[in-house]
Amino acid sequence: MNTTKKFEFQPLPYSYDALEPFIDKLTVEIHYSKHHKAYHDNFINAIKGTEMESMDIKDIFRSISKYPMAVRNNSGGYFNHTFYWENMKAHGVGKPTGKLSEAIVKAFGSFDEFKKQFSDAGKTRFGSGWAWLCLDDKGTLFICSTPNQDNPFMDIAEKKGIPLLTIDVWEHAYYLKYQNKRPDYIEAFWNVVNWEEVAKRCENALKSLDLKII
Ligand code: MN
């Protein structure tokens, strides 16, 4: 398969201004068309002529420690951003429903407690990185954060899991509107979470683990 097609730069699933007023148009435009695009292009260049061209990106992540740093940074930057765009939407419903909601209550005690812990993971990530909600191999939800462009699929992650929801806490994700106020951006993020997408990821993750209940 053609590498450019296989690792395509997916279209943004909504218009640049769709997440207003929570995430502003200019931020989304620069973040997607400049930052994300650069990670994609650099990833394609970094794997050119290597075995990675024919690999699944998750298999690259699973053995990321044996590849050059340029692959680690740009494969993560390419994948993480697509994952982030897709777990947001205009007018998010604000709360998960169904099984995912039950799993969150079971793991964290309440939705508010989950929100607090996830937000704290983003706020306390020193420097640049990501906060994640993940499923572990027992089917239990957990929250973690990763530095730079790392993600929980990578073999170097402190705790590995299947990611379900993420927030980008690099300054480029919020600085134009929120300047140094990362907590305000994280608070606004909850208004645009695409819970239907997160629930779908959760179901697929459970299937891949062959678990029926959480
Ligand atoms: Mn970013």
3-state secondary structure the chain: CCHHHHCCCCCCCCCCCCCCCCCCHHHHHHHHHHHHHHHHHHHHHHHCCCHHHHCCHHHHHHCHHHCCHHHHHHHHHHHHHHHHHHCECCCCCCCCCHHHHHHHHHHHCCHHHHHHHHHHHHHCCCCCEEEEEEECCCCCEEEEEEECCCCCCCCCCCCCCEEEEEEECCHHHCHHHHCCCHHHHHHHHHHHECHHHHHHHHHHHHHHHCCCCC
Burial class (CB in 10 A: 0-12, 13-18, 19+), 109: exposed
Distance 177 CA to ligand 1 centre (A): 15
Q: How far is the CA of 154 from the centre of ligand 1 (A)?
A: 18
Q: 36-84 pLDDT, tens per residue?
A: 999 999 999 999 999 999 999 999 999 999 999 999 999 999 999 999 9
Average pLDDT value over all residues in the chain: 94
CA of 11 to the centre of ligand 1 (A): 16
CA 173 to ligand 1 center in whole angstroms: 5
Ligand 1: distance of its center to the CA of 128 in Å? 9
Count the Cβ atoms, other than its own, within 10 Å of residue 80: 25
Q: Within a domain: residue 191?
A: yes
- The reply to whether 17 falls in a domain is no
CA of 174 to the centre of ligand 1 (A): 9
Q: Does residue 15 lie in a domain region?
A: no
Q: CA dihedral defined by 40, 43, 48, 51, rounded to 10 degrees?
A: -120
pLDDT at 130 over 90: yes
Contact 120, 106 (CB under 8 A): no
C-alpha 149 to ligand 1 mean position (Å): 8
CATH code, domain carrying 211:
3.55.40.20
CA of 213 to the centre of ligand 1 (A): 33
Asked whether residue 37 is domain-assigned, the answer is yes
Q: Is residue 27 in a domain?
A: yes
Assess contact for 71 and 52: CB atoms under 8 A: yes
Domain assignment of residue 4, yes or no:
no
Distance 186 CA to ligand 1 centre (A): 14
Determine the pLDDT at residue 213. 46
- CA 36 / ligand 1 centre spacing (Å): 7
pLDDT digits (tens, 9 = 90+) for 163-206: 999 999 999 999 999 999 999 999 999 999 999 999 999 999 98
> If you measure from the C-alpha of residue 17 to the centroid of ligand 1, how many angstroms do you get, rounded to a whole number?
17
Domain count, the chain: 1
Query: Residue 51 sits in which domain range?
Result: 22-214
Cα 109 to averaged position of ligand 1 atoms, centre (Å): 30
